[in-house]
Chains A and B, each alone.
Chain A
Amino acid sequence: MLQVRDLTMRYPTGKLALADFQLTVHPGEFVVVLGGNGSGKTTLLRCISRMLRPTAGEIWLDTVDLAALSGERLRRARLPMAMVWQQTSLVRRRSVLSNVASGALGRYGGLWTMLGGLPEVEIRAAYDFLGEVGLATLAAQRAGTLSGGQAQRVAIARALAQRPRVLLADEPVASLDPEAADEIMRLLKHLANEDNLAVLCVLHQLELAYAYADRVVGIRNGRAAFDRPACDLPREEVRQLYLSEVA
């Protein structure tokens, strides 16, 4: 379970990007954070994944507060948390299979993996994860040859190779065509509802949020504007989210 308490982030420039943000994502739940440009949604994800150090607040991953950790202890504590990125994040020169298997590196520390090798077990497991995202046939291809949608699915398979309990996604469909976007969203929902992951996905497309999310959290000026089940979300309230940006 992922629980964010009173998360505040003030950049060195003085800009307050997040203010006392509260959020809980349970296992099996697909939560979408919806917000316009500059609303703080990317900052939220960067704080949770601890690429940024939040100014104040707590980030509980099961029984550990990530906000209080750094260095090797943070690396270990963060292992159950995987991330899917907005842009392609695969090593283009390596095979799809190696890219997926490299998601598991954090759990190995031997000389073989230090020198660029992948554990035999993980290569076999990577086949299964590729199958889960429907791309087992592309295993031997170079990652650089994939289409945007395929690359994003491989990135999800790599996240699975990490054996996460929490999956974060930062606008995972931003650069995809509508059909590929639907596929990625369906996959994320499946991972939450069927594989019991806690999935937190940042988006700006409200239609996708309506179609796939279990719960939608609106963010505006770094504060939660609403936090409701997707089936009980008045469109007027969502529109407010984007209106304030213009005003």
Chain B
Amino acid sequence: MSVEASAPQLPTRDWPGALVLALRLAAVMAFVAIVVQAAIVVRARPQDLITGARGMADIIGRAMPPDFARINVIWWPVLETVDIAIFGTLGGVALAVPLAILAAANVTPSRALYFAARGAIGFARSVPDLVWALLFVTAVGLGPFPGALALSVHSVGMLGRLFAETIEHMDMAPIDALTLTGARRMQVFSHGVIPSVLPSLTGITLYRFDENIRSSLVLGFVGAGGIGFELLSAMSLFQYRLVSLYLIVTFVLVIAAERMSALIRARLA
């Protein structure tokens, strides 16, 4: 048998070269069309950016130097922001754990509860945290509490889904083995399930905390306390040097939360 005959057949392209070229051109044109229509719809006018540059420079000039003397009065809103994130995250965990157990296909007690829990988790995620905050401000009034509630509910959307996935991907062999040693259900849960999933759940929670710090910064814009509320007040009172101080504090806060959560998560892995 000749070498050519035994060599595997290369896949051959049935389409003629001209057609392939035309298709590629069409793909490029389609992409350009998408970009152009987006620019038209958002009414992008670069010249406005150029004429507006002076106004922006003016504001930045008036914001300098940051009003560091006020650092002793802003620590309270900063603490409020951090605590909104802490409460929001822990509240989210408290709501997400039972929902995740119902929404994990391998442990859910019934199909109906599975779909109900999945629906609730999806709904919590699809409504933005700002909208939740508006709703809770209407319900319990202005202040940090509606912000914390909004984060709790919105966090369930992500925490519930990732918790459920963690439970679904759990190695069942140790669980079956413990059950067969004669351990009771509660013992199997506390000695087998908890140690298996706790590191992942803690990692997800820390990641969510870091996101919630960022969310809680803007929740104040709708009256839900914290730095956002003070930032908006300072803006409307033209206190730009205070605004820049808040922005610096925000930057430090976000980076610190991000680094801390990443560091702890790396240790858990």
Binding site for B on A (CB under 8 A): 49, 51, 75-76, 78-79, 82-83, 85, 87-94, 98, 102-109, 113-116, 155, 158-159, 162
Contact = CB atoms under 8 A, between A and B. Distances in A.
Contacts of A88: 173
Given A88-B173, A93-B195, A114 B186 contact: yes
Place the interface of chain B in its size category. Answer: 20 to 34
B79 interface: no
Contact of A105 (B173, B176, B191, B198): B191
B183 A91 contact: no
A75 B182 contact: yes
- Chain B interface main SS type: helix
Given A83-B177, A85-B173, A114-B190, A105 B183 contact: yes
A90 B183 contact: no
A79 B183 contact: no
A115 B190 contact: yes
Contact of A162 (B181, B190, B194, B195): B181
A91 B198 CA distance: 12
Given A102-B178, A162-B182, A93 B173 contact: no
Nearest to B194: A116
Contact of A106 (B174, B177, B183): B183
Contacts, number: 80
A102 B183 contact: yes
B34 interface: no
Nearest to B177: A89
Contacts of A49: 180
Given A105-B187, A116-B190, A116-B191, A91 B196 contact: yes
Contacts of B190: 113-116
A69 to B, nearest CB: 13
B226 to A, nearest CB: 36
Contact of A114 (B177, B181, B187, B192): B187
Given A106-B182, A114-B186, A85 B194 contact: no
Interface of B: 171, 173-174, 176-178, 180-184, 186-187, 190-192, 194-196, 198-199
A143 to B, nearest CB: 9
Contacts of A115: 190
A217 B195 CA distance: 39
Contacts of A105: 178, 181-184, 187, 191
Nearest to B192: A91
A158 B181 contact: yes
A161 to B, nearest CB: 8
Contacts of B183: 102, 105-106
25 contacts: A76-B182, A82-B181, A83-B180, A83-B181, A89-B176, A91-B174, A91-B195, A92-B171, A92-B174, A92-B196, A93-B196, A93-B198, A93-B199, A94-B191, A94-B195, A102-B183, A102-B192, A103-B181, A106-B182, A109-B184, A113-B187, A114-B186, A116-B194, A158-B177, A162-B182
Contacts of B196: 91-93
Contacts of A85: 173, 176-177
Nearest to B183: A105
A106 B181 contact: yes
B62 to A, nearest CB: 55
Contacts of A104: 181
B97 to A, nearest CB: 16
Nearest to B174: A91
A137 to B, nearest CB: 22
A89 B177 CA distance: 6
Given A92-B171, A162-B181, 13 more contacts: A49-B180, A51-B176, A75-B182, A83-B180, A85-B177, A87-B173, A91-B195, A91-B196, A93-B196, A106-B181, A106-B183, A114-B184, A114-B187
B220 to A, nearest CB: 40
